[in-house]
Amino acid sequence: MAERISPQQFQSSGGVEDWRAHIDGAKAYFATGSFAKGIELIDVIGRLADAANHHPDVDLRYPSVMVSLFTHDIDDISDLDVALARQISIAARDLGIEADPSQIPTS
């Protein structure tokens, strides 16, 4: 079972510097530079999400991808979101894609 955490606990976790947590979930904005690179990132996110059995909302735009994590089973953010956020950030860096937290809406 997922363990509920606060937005502050999420932010203080290591490896989630690309992300911003609010009461409605954790979000990251990745500046892909192209639509094709965005699809490449989404493909990796899909594989990571399936492996974790934890699925984010993903918004593909030119030239970016916004990812939102939220644990629906507990209607809050959880340790599962931290783990997947870390993996997604690593995958983005491996693809040469930079995060831009300044583009994340403050909701």
At residue 48, the pLDDT reads 98
- State the total domains in the chain: 1
Tokens of 15: 């490896």
At residue 74, the pLDDT reads 96
What average pLDDT does range 5-29 have in this prediction?
A: 96
- Condensed to tens digits (0 to 9), the pLDDT of residues 37-95 reads 999 999 999 999 999 999 999 999 999 999 999 999 999 999 999 999 999 999 999 99
Within a domain: 72: yes
- Burial environment of residue 99 by CB neighbours within 10 A (0 to 12, 13 to 18, 19 or more): buried
Alpha helices in the chain (DSSP H): 7-12, 35-52, 79-94
Within a domain: 13: yes
Band of residue 6 on the pLDDT scale cut at 50, 70, 90? very high
- Condensed to tens digits (0 to 9), the pLDDT of residues 36-52 reads 999 999 999 999 999 99
Within a domain: 47: yes
Which residues span the domain enclosing 69? 7-103
Within a domain: 1: no
**pTM, two decimal places:** 0.96
Q: What is the CATH number of the domain that holds 83?
A: 3.30.1360.20
